[in-house]
Amino acid sequence: MEKKSLKKYFENKEKTCKEYQKTFGDYIEEKLSLEDEHLLVLHVKKCKECMEELEATYMFASAFKFLEDNDDDEGIRTDIKDLLKKSEEEYNYVKRHNITLIVEIITTAVLIGVIIAFFINADIREMLLWGK
C-alpha cells in the first residue's frame, strides 16, 4: 500500500511520455515556456522512444511548412538536433543571466549593509564620545 502511493507520487512528479509527446507540436512552434522546453529536452535525451517521435513530428511539420510556403529558402529542415541545441543554449543563457543577477543583488545588499553598519557604528561612536 505504501509502495503504491509512493509510486503514484513519483508518477505525478514526472510527466509521462504521452504527456511529453502531446507538447511536441508546441515545442516545434516554440510556444512552450523555457522551463517546459528544458524538461522536454532533458526527457528526449534519455528517452529513445520520445526522441524518435519528436524527430518524426519535426520532419512532418517541416515538410508541411515547406509545402505550404515553398519559397522558404531553408528548405525542409530535418535535423531536430539543431532545435534541441538551440533550446539548451537559450536555457543556459537565461540561467547564467539569472545567476549573475542574483550575485549582483547579493553584492549590492552586502554593500548597503556595510554602509549602514558603518554609519550606525559612527553614530554609536559619536554618541559615546558625546557622552564622555
Note the residues at the interface with Zn ion (CB under 5 A).
17, 47, 50
- CB nearer Zn ion, residue 54 or residue 62: 54
Beta carbon of residue 85, minimum distance to Zn ion (angstroms, whole number)? 19
Burial of 110 (0-12, 13-18, 19+ CB in 10 A): exposed
- CB nearer Zn ion, residue 43 or residue 62: 43
- CB nearer Zn ion, residue 22 or residue 125: 22
Is 58:78 a contact under the CB 8 Å cutoff? yes
Q: Which of 87, 73, 68, 70 is nearest to 26 (CA)?
A: 87
Beta carbon of residue 80, minimum distance to Zn ion (angstroms, whole number)? 14
Beta carbon of residue 36, minimum distance to Zn ion (angstroms, whole number)? 15
Beta carbon of residue 54, minimum distance to Zn ion (angstroms, whole number)? 9
Q: Which of 78, 76, 108, 94 is nearest to 37 (CA)?
A: 94
Beta carbon of residue 14, minimum distance to Zn ion (angstroms, whole number)? 10
- CB nearer Zn ion, residue 14 or residue 79: 14
Cell of 131: 557622552
- CB nearer Zn ion, residue 3 or residue 46: 46
Is 20:43 a contact under the CB 8 Å cutoff? yes
Helices (H), ranges, the chain: 2-13, 17-22, 24-28, 34-46, 48-68, 80-131
